[in-house]
Structure 1
Amino acid sequence: MDKKFNGMFRSLSVRNFRLFTAGQVLSATGTWMMVMAQDWLVLSLTDDSAVALGTVTALQFAPILLLTLYGGRLADRYDKRRLLTWANLASAALAGLLGLSQLSGAAQLWHVYLIALALGVVNAVEVPTRMSFVGELVGPELLPNASALSAAYFNVARIAAPAVGGLLIAAAGVGPVMMLNAVSYLATVIALWRMRPSEYKRAARRPERPRVVDGLRYARSNPDLLLVLALVAVISLFGLNFQLTLPLMAKTVFHTDATTFGLLTTAFAAGSLLAALATTARRGRPAAGTVILAAAAFGLLTTAAGWAPGPLSAALLLALTGFSASYFAQAANHRVQLGSDPQYRGRIMALYTLVLQGSTPFGALLVGRLSEGFGARSGLLVGGLVSLAAAVAAYAVQRALDRRTRPEPVPTSSSS
């Protein structure tokens, strides 16, 4: 039992990664509380407008669509620890500004829009830098385990944040929650500057002038990377819109308060956490079939969650959906990272971030309009069915790729 436990957390034996994880747990908890507070503030300011909520989500993710490839270029060229430090300080300042405007009673919808857009610009640099930085902290052998543990602490935060955030919002309002998030970013900054750069596991040579176009060409020349990226793009666009669909389900379908919203979010995060822990056992690059099967399971379970008759059944189905979503994301992440040359990894992970999160503005607006016209359930139903269709299409493409790369059988001569 002890041996299995140690194996599950083996990447935490690396001091730099331990520090990184400790800072990220606190910061991610604050971030998820901020997401919940921001969504609740938007619904309060707009009389439960799904379009306004979708617009905030779109503004926060639009810069990723436009700028994240350049963020990956910066990650490949400059010191990642320094980039992450400035990104976290900027996020802290932005969260503090929104919190102060709410505490002063001056918060308006355009304030939320502006802060969401600015946070998106910061995230366009922070996300690909953080994802590629994990490989420098632990090296390729421990990367699958470290990536899975990163997803685990991210989902631990998603479990803790709604439970605490829902109570704090009910007791004190959204302003104090936003201020707590601003302070939580300092945990990551402190952890980054306690690291030992001499213990990084970097590539032998860092490109002096990395170009975005070179990263795109590298991805285009690898069909196995392109297939995964395309599947991630479709599922992200149509299926991964829970930041929008869950508050709408809680407030407009089940007619409940922030506590039930927290329950639904916590259930989804709990399933995601279990999947992240399950993938800590992975020691190599997952097969394409693993990614495709996880995508199909996600599509089926999301569709089922859309039909949930009440909050408790929705929570159960969302836990299963969260498991499939996290398992799919981890399998896709590991297949892309471990299939990429380290010199291109920052740009490839930026491309992965682009298709995973950059499509969110379009998905948020689409699902927002859909939910406004046909109800909150329609967002989950359409997202699940499209995700399932994408998995079937990816399976067909993978079969074609396998046939193309399969060696021709050598004919044997028969003797008379």
Structure 2
Amino acid sequence: MSDVRTRPLLLRNRDFAKVWTAQVMAQGAFRMLQVGLVWWIVSHVAAERRGLATGLLMVLGTLPAALLVPVVARVLARHTGRAVLRGTTLAAAGVAAALAVWAVLGAVPLAAVYPVALALAVCQAFFDPCIPTSVAALVEAEDIESATAVNLATLSLAGLAGAFTAPLLVERTGLAGLVLGCAACYAISGTAAGLARFRPPQDPPASTPAPRRRRLRAILAELPLLRSILLCLAAVNLFSTAVFVIFPLYTKSVLHADATTFALLEAGLGVGTLLGALSGKHLTGRATSVGAVCVTGFALALALPGLFPHRPAVIGALAMAGWCVGAVGVRFVALFQRAVPAADKPGFFALMQAMIGATFPVASLVFGLLGDHLSPQTLCLVQAVGVLPAACALYALRGRERALAAAPPTETTLLEGTA
């Protein structure tokens, strides 16, 4: 038994490995489409007001996660993880394939890609929170933190692969090749998810009252520390998300470079995030203390491209920023996995996705509009200054996390307030 436990989780749990494959393919496809369409707009479509055009695309790509949270929570609570993962990815494959056929037959107008981006974002709004919600149905309790680290590292790996491939694919095969590749990835994802077996939830002992699913507002009301952490993370994302709008413009107008350089910048961010996700669980200290340090490091990394507009320095800065994001993500999601009662996890992770994701469309639109009036270097400095208050707020929460660790919540105690 000990020999089995020493093997990597992906090798000793086949069902988790299948869901991991589904995650890599789906999240890689979505990231590929986002980055590829942004580069297609900046390089081949929009000669003027590129910031607004790319900002609007990012708004449509992130808005569903914020608006659909009640629907997502109900769907995740009522349907199996396998059904949600398989259904959303196969639907996304069909949408991407339809756009690919259009691109093969003739030129696709810019207005046509916006509804496609919106439809795929709707699918992703269900897929993304379903991954952490399904962890308990795939792995043993002692593997939750390892599974969380693998999932976040997978997100980084998928983002890296998709972001690096996308601009190069656009330059070599055009829009048709980009969306056809996305459709294939989604189809593989749906197939892999459909082959995985999810364990049914364990029934509580007869002497223990069955936990009730509660309204989304009640979940956060019973978890004030986690609510405060989510607000801090949402504040960070309000400024950090802008990298997806700023750096295509930065590549064109500051570095005066091509798709290869843009791919390298995306790769730097992706490699850093992957390394951060893999190493985050080894950092010592409370999650809030580690988070405060990492967010501060993230701010410093964002400031560097604004001060030193040289390609190696920018790639290194983005790698550092990615590492900070990946490391802090592992610590906080692992904390959430252990602190949130099982019955509340579908609602909580849907809320988490919505609270963090709600800032994405705002940031995309605001920074997109600013990108048509301010230099990308100035916007980098605005980002850096903007995330520092969140670092201070996380550091102030360390005492409350210590109290949570001293008296960890259980399903029974957390539900007492709603009886």
TM-score range, shorter chain: 0.7 to 0.9
Q: Residue 319 in 1 paired to residue 326 in 2?
A: no
| Aligned residue in 2 for 1:137 | 138
Distance in 1 separating the partners of 2:210 and 2:45: 48
Q: Residue 171 in 1 paired to residue 161 in 2?
A: no
8 A contact 2:303–2:383 mirrored in 1: yes
| Aligned residue in 1 for 2:277 | 276
Measured at CA, do residues 27 and 207 of structure 1 come closer, stay the same or move farther in structure 2, by a change above 3 Å? farther
| Aligned residue in 2 for 1:394 | 394
8 A contact 2:254–2:309 mirrored in 1: no
- Kindly state the Cα deviation for residue 349 of structure 1 after the two structures are TM-superposed: 0.5
Q: Which amino acid aligns with 1:333?
A: V
- Kindly state the Cα deviation for residue 328 of structure 1 after the two structures are TM-superposed: 1.8
| Aligned residue in 1 for 2:295 | 295
| Aligned residue in 1 for 2:120 | 119
- Kindly state the Cα deviation for residue 4 of structure 1 after the two structures are TM-superposed: 12
Say which SS state the counterpart of residue 138 (structure 2) adopts.
Answer: helix
| Pairing of 1:5-404 with structure 2 (within 5 A) | 9-10=8-9, 12-43=11-42, 44-47=44-47, 49-197=50-198, 200=199, 202-204=201-203, 210-211=213-214, 214-279=215-280, 281=282, 287-399=287-399
Distance in 1 separating the partners of 2:216 and 2:227: 12
Say which SS state the counterpart of residue 372 (structure 2) adopts.
Answer: helix
8 A contact 2:286–2:402 mirrored in 1: no
Say which SS state the counterpart of residue 196 (structure 2) adopts.
Answer: coil
Distance in 1 separating the partners of 2:83 and 2:189: 12
Measured at CA, do residues 191 and 280 of structure 1 come closer, stay the same or move farther in structure 2, by a change above 3 Å? farther
Measured at CA, do residues 66 and 404 of structure 1 come closer, stay the same or move farther in structure 2, by a change above 3 Å? closer
- Kindly state the Cα deviation for residue 42 of structure 1 after the two structures are TM-superposed: 2.1
Distance in 1 separating the partners of 2:80 and 2:285: 27
8 A contact 1:207–1:343 mirrored in 2: no
For each residue in 1:217-245, what CA deviation from the matched residue of structure 2 results, as whole angstroms up to 9, or x when unmatched? 12122221112101111011112222212
Q: How does the TM-score come out when normalised to structure 1?
A: 0.87
Measured at CA, do residues 262 and 278 of structure 1 come closer, stay the same or move farther in structure 2, by a change above 3 Å? same
Measured at CA, do residues 138 and 71 of structure 1 come closer, stay the same or move farther in structure 2, by a change above 3 Å? same
Tell me how many residue pairs correspond in the alignment. Answer: 400
Distance in 2 separating the partners of 1:166 and 1:257: 9
8 A contact 1:138–1:201 mirrored in 2: no
- Kindly state the Cα deviation for residue 404 of structure 1 after the two structures are TM-superposed: 12
The gaps in structure 2 that reach 5 residues or longer are: 408-419
Distance in 2 separating the partners of 1:7 and 1:403: 33
- Kindly state the Cα deviation for residue 350 of structure 1 after the two structures are TM-superposed: 0.7
Q: Which amino acid aligns with 1:15?
A: R
Q: Which amino acid aligns with 1:331?
A: R
Distance in 2 separating the partners of 1:244 and 1:168: 19
8 A contact 1:162–1:263 mirrored in 2: no
The gaps in structure 1 that reach 5 residues or longer are: 408-416
8 A contact 2:281–2:327 mirrored in 1: no
Measured at CA, do residues 237 and 69 of structure 1 come closer, stay the same or move farther in structure 2, by a change above 3 Å? farther
Distance in 1 separating the partners of 2:277 and 2:403: 32
- Kindly state the Cα deviation for residue 208 of structure 1 after the two structures are TM-superposed: 10
Measured at CA, do residues 29 and 400 of structure 1 come closer, stay the same or move farther in structure 2, by a change above 3 Å? closer
| Aligned residue in 2 for 1:413 | none
Q: How does the TM-score come out when normalised to structure 2?
A: 0.87
For each residue in 1:277-329, what CA deviation from the matched residue of structure 2 results, as whole angstroms up to 9, or x when unmatched? 113558x9953222222222212222223323212210011111110111122
- Kindly state the Cα deviation for residue 125 of structure 1 after the two structures are TM-superposed: 1.7
Q: Which amino acid aligns with 1:140?
A: A
For each residue in 1:170-197, what CA deviation from the matched residue of structure 2 results, as whole angstroms up to 9, or x when unmatched? 2221211210110111222221222234
8 A contact 1:55–1:365 mirrored in 2: yes
Q: Which amino acid aligns with 1:233?
A: A
Say which SS state the counterpart of residue 142 (structure 1) adopts.
Answer: helix
Distance in 2 separating the partners of 1:177 and 1:46: 18
For each residue in 1:61-106, what CA deviation from the matched residue of structure 2 results, as whole angstroms up to 9, or x when unmatched? 1111110232022112221211111100111112222223333333
- Kindly state the Cα deviation for residue 273 of structure 1 after the two structures are TM-superposed: 1.0
Say which SS state the counterpart of residue 35 (structure 1) adopts.
Answer: helix
Give the stretch that moved more between structures: 229-238 or 45-54: 45-54
Measured at CA, do residues 89 and 39 of structure 1 come closer, stay the same or move farther in structure 2, by a change above 3 Å? same
